[in-house]
Amino acid sequence: MRILYVGRFATPKNNLAIIQISKILKEKGITCTIDFFGDSENVDAEGINIKMTFLNELNVLQDFVFYRGYADKESIYAVNYDFLLLPSFWEGFPVVMLEAAKNGIIPVCSDIQTGPREFIANLHDYNSELVYPHIGSGGILLKCPINDVDFKEWVNCLEYVYTDKELLNKLKYSVKVNCNHYSFENYRQNWENFLNSLVFKD
């Protein structure tokens, strides 16, 4: 199992959840590597502290979690990852989710108030409750991980999908197809249709 994380060190990103998830994966004896790409911003004291805590935790996760720092997109997505983890407390619309899916990497995201539901499950209603894990054409939604129960649920979901190769490959294909809805050509066509509906409205 190859897992990817891309994002800066910051409180909203819930970066340290990656460490807790990694520890459980290791305890269960699951063969896995996690590559972490990103860094803290110089003006973000909290982000710098999170980074230091994260790097200190890597001492017990050697040969399991690898901190890669900054890298260009071509280098990141040259690797055949299985999952992208986004355990964030909140996001805008996470573009990294689209970039990963475009490369056949399954986004596994916190079900937070913006972004992931729209892409993963084609849902725009954020008030309705979902049963987790929620597997959609764009990836997997899970409860935002904040405690041991949540971390174990994320690990169980990753293990379940990864060991079911038919499901794994089906999801890798569907997330790529789902990206077509967000292509420039699709946006252009939708905009043209909208303008035409105004011009030719009876």
Look at residue 186 in the predicted model and tell me its pLDDT.
Answer: 57
Question: Which tokens hold the place of 107?
Answer: 């986004």
Alpha carbons 20 and 93: distance in angstroms, whole number: 25
Query: pLDDT (tens digit, 9 = 90+) per residue, 135-162?
Result: 999 999 999 999 999 999 999 999 999 9
pTM of the model: 0.86
Contacts of residue 68, defined as CB under 8 A and 6 or more positions apart, other chains included, come to 35, 36, 37
Which amino acid, one-letter code, is at 5? Y
- Helix, strand or coil for residue 73? helix
- 13 CB contacts (<8 Å, ≥6 apart)? 7, 87, 88, 89
Alpha helices in 103-147 (DSSP H): 116-121
On whether the CB atoms of residues 25 and 63 are closer than 8 A, the answer is: no
For the segment 40-65, the average pLDDT, to the nearest whole number, is 87
| Total H helices, total E strands in the chain | 8, 7
DSSP H or E stretch at residue 2:
strand 2-6
What is the C-alpha to C-alpha distance for residues 191 and 180, in angstroms, rounded to an integer?
A: 15
pLDDT for res 191: 52
User: 141 pairs with which residues across the strands?
Assistant: 109, 134
CA distance 151 to 161: 16
Superfamily of chain region 2-199: Glycogen Phosphorylase B; (3.40.50.2000)
Which tokens hold the place of 52? 């230091």
- Out of 26-30, 58-62, 151-155, 167-171, which region has the weakest mean confidence (pLDDT)? 58-62
Residues 6+ apart with CB under 8 A from 79: 2, 4, 35
Q: Sheet containing 65-69: which strands, arranged edge to edge?
A: 65-69, 33-37, 2-6, 83-86, 106-110, 139-142, 134-136
**pLDDT tens-digit readout, 178-196:** 888 765 565 555 555 555 6
Annotated domain spans of the chain:
2-199
